[in-house]
Amino acid sequence: MSLLRDLFGPSRDEIWQQVAAAVGGKASAGNFWAGGGKVEAAHGQWMVTLDTYVVSTGKTTITYTRMRAPYVNPDGFQFTIYRRGIFSDIGKWMGMQDVVVGDPQFDEDFIIKGNDEAKLCRLFADARLRELVSAQPDIHFCVKDDENKFWGGQGFPSNVDELYFQVTGVIKDVHRLKQLFDLFAETLDELCRMGSAYEQNPCVTL
């Protein structure tokens, strides 16, 4: 174990135990290669879950880090935000919606899409939320429809969606992961203030 630690640094489980302690959550161990470990932390009535999952492409496998938080979404408001790049600019030229929220640097750095422009502008008027988004070197952050229905699962209640973050690779940076939990907390609180989330238990277990 010490040789592996010298070669690769602290394991994911070690780092995530630290993250759990920092956010007042609990960590369960898993297999580094196959995933299975997770960190769960409550924020109000919501449970935020950090884990990894693996996708096989046939010749190789890709590991993703994700964070999820189911919540009651009374008005169906949805958004997606990710960093601007070559392919996102091509998408914009082809007609992809890109909402401007009024912060020139933020608008320059990110592609923001959603189904209600006024609510998008209100959500990202939150300076702390913009700060937490900007702190992520790589980010795909969105409100996602019930994912279980696509995989033959039981599914969520009809008015429940989930706040969802995903990036390629395993994040082993305590500060970055703590900021992600802060981002989820800030976003859920702001959605509540906007009337786009209810501060109640969605009765969903991931």
Query: Structure pTM?
Result: 0.87
Tell me how far apart the alpha carbons of residues 161 and 124 are, in angstroms, rounded to a whole number. Answer: 19
Output the average pLDDT for the chain. Answer: 86
Give tens-digit pLDDT for 30-74.
654 445 689 999 999 999 999 999 998 888 899 999 999 999 999
Inter-residue contact 36 to 50 (CB < 8 Å):
no
* pLDDT tens profile 139-176: 999 999 865 554 445 678 888 999 999 999 999 999 99
Q: Which of 2, 25, 9, 4 is nearest to 177 (CA)?
A: 25
Q: Which residue has the tokens 């693996």?
A: 54
What's at 132, amino acid-wise?
L
Q: What is the pLDDT of residue 84?
A: 87
Residue with tokens 């920092």: 22
Three-class DSSP category at 108: helix
